[in-house]
Amino acid sequence: MRYFLGIIGGGPAGYTAAEKASKAGQSVVLFEQNALGGTCLNVGCIPTKTLLYSAKQYYNATHADKYGVAAEQVSFDYVKMQQRKTKVVRKLVAGIKAKLNNEFCTVVNGFATVTPSSSEGVWQCLCNDEAYECENILICTGSTNFVPPIPGIQDNPCVWDSTAALDAKELPASVAIVGGGVIGMEFATLYHELGISVTVIEAMPTILPNLDQEVVTILRDKYEKAGIRILTNTKVSRLDNGVVTCDTAEGTLTIEADKVLVSVGRRANIKGLEALTELEYNRGAIVVDDFMRTNLPNVYAAGDVTGKIMLAHVAARQAEVAVCRMLKQIPLQRIAYNAIPSVVYTNPEIASVGITENEMDCEVHRLPMTFSGRFVAENEGETGLCKMLIDKKTHSVMGVHMIGNPCSEFIAAASFAVRMGYTVAEFQQVVFPHPTVSEILKEVL
């Protein structure tokens, strides 16, 4: 059978592309070896946010007195939290299945490989001993947790990656987290809010090194005061079960924990592409242009496998751009990497978009979140921060960085301003509903 598009991988990039191309009436075959939804839905964004929400309910209940509420003998059941997580994931996976259930889309469950076909200008996907001819290929095979070469890490029963941590039926009494990046800090939040002793070990001078450091400092101060141990400039040199040996400027340090969660980044999945011998890679990720084209004709890639920005919403947008290019839809779209929002689901949340201060000499506006009435009403004892970065010459909004709940819910308004190149004068004409925390975006100017 011959298809317009063969998609390898059913994560946010894969299912978005399948939906878009099949809705346009093109025949699509999508190959997925596990469940539809990929890392994000099955072992990433959605399960972590579900568990984090349960943990936040428990944490808020145990800290309810500051809102005039007495909650006594509050407890939690981690097995029930896990069961709810499974239910949420199943529901969303079913939703994706339903979206792809149309006459133009075929979903094949299995591991696919791609090869050049004997027919000119067509690629062949092989899966479960069947061959599928495809005019276009979209590779969206995602990424896997990186295992650093630390002595004692392999086959260590105390070591978890994020997938194992999400799957655990029981909570440990203490956790050492290697890597203070996004995954590390979200799991630190989860475990801390459930009353577990947490140590974060980060090799760089700061946790969340890619984010606005003023915002990160607020988080770090709060977490350290709350009892999370955060070690920066600290490199793990070996692991012996739960004993973590680290090198610091002051010498060797030993930390003991029931479990060691290793979250030091992810690497592109390129298995199954071996027959594409000419395919170009850079540092293990597939090289793509602005239209998500690889160097091979009619072969596209989207999502984590491109090694650009490993976020589900980037993957989905890249997939839209790729399909738009395949369908030759005019005007051809490109992805605006300068306006990608990102959120770290700590408590308080961090949300950002656009440039950071060290990338450009810009005008910086800053204001505590407490200038929002709704924030004060709902965030007892918190200060938060909103920063807006303005181009000194054009007066356009270049970046926004926030800490304070629920900034994840309105960072999209800032993304919109950055994407559309709004000037301060234009942005000030936007009306924000009162009372909402989003008003801070206007107050800050």
Q: State which of residues 14, 37, 152, 179 lies at the interface with ligand NAD (CB under 6 A).
A: 179
By annotation, the residues acting in catalysis are 434
- Three-state DSSP state, 299: strand
The identity of residue 359, as a single letter, is E
State yes or no: residue 266 binds ligand NAD (CB under 6 A).
yes
Which of the ranges 203-211, 252-260, 397-405, 422-430 carries the binding residues for ligand NAD, by CB under 6 A? 203-211
Measured between alpha carbons, how far is 432 from 149 in angstroms, rounded to an integer? 50
Nearer to ligand NAD, 27 or 50 (CB): 50
Residue 9 CB, nearest approach to ligand NAD (Å) = 16
**CB-CB neighbours of 162 under 10 Å:** 21
Q: Is 188 in the site for ligand NAD (CB under 6 A)?
A: no
Which of 299, 311, 319, 418 is close enough to bind ligand NAD by CB under 6 A?
A: 311
Note whether 14 and 5 are within 8 A (CB): no
User: Of residues 122-161, which lie at the interface with ligand NAD (CB under 6 A)?
Assistant: 148
Is 42 near ligand NAD (CB under 6 A)?
Answer: no
**Cα–Cα dist 381/136, whole Å:** 55
Q: Helix 182-193 and helix 45-62: axis angle, to 10°?
A: 40
292 is a contact residue toward ligand NAD (CB under 6 A): no
Is residue 180 within 8 A of residue 230, CB to CB? The reply is yes
**Residue in 27, 124, 189, 263 binding ligand NAD, rule: CB under 6 A:** 263
Q: Any contact of residue 341 with ligand NAD (CB under 6 A)?
A: no
Is 165 an interacting residue with respect to ligand NAD (CB under 6 A)? no
236 binds ligand NAD (CB under 6 A): yes
Pick the binder of ligand NAD from 100, 201, 218, 302 (CB under 6 A): 201
Non-local CB neighbours of 21 within 8 Å, separated by 6+ positions: 4, 5, 28, 104, 323, 326, 327
**Bridge partners (DSSP) listed for residue 13:** none
Question: Directed axis angle between helix 12-23 and helix 312-326, to 10°?
Answer: 30
Does residue number 230 form part of the binding site for ligand NAD (CB under 6 A)? no
Closest Cα partner for 344 from 416, 273, 408, 301?
A: 408
Q: Round to whole Å and give the CA distance between 353 and 317.
A: 16
Nearer to ligand NAD, 151 or 297 (CB): 151
Rounding to the nearest 10 degrees, give the CA dihedral for residues 153, 157, 158, 164. Answer: 90
Of 178, 257, 353, 388, the residue at the interface with ligand NAD (CB under 6 A) is 178
Does position 211 interact with ligand NAD (CB under 6 A)? The reply is no
Instruction: Give me the least distance between CB of 236 and ligand NAD, in Å please.
Output: 5
**Interface with ligand NAD (CB under 6 A), residue from 294, 342, 356, 438:** 342
- Measured CA to CA, the distance from residue 301 to residue 203 in angstroms comes to 31
Where along the sequence are the contacts to ligand NAD (CB under 6 A)? 148, 178-184, 186, 201-204, 209, 235-236, 263-266, 310-311, 342-345
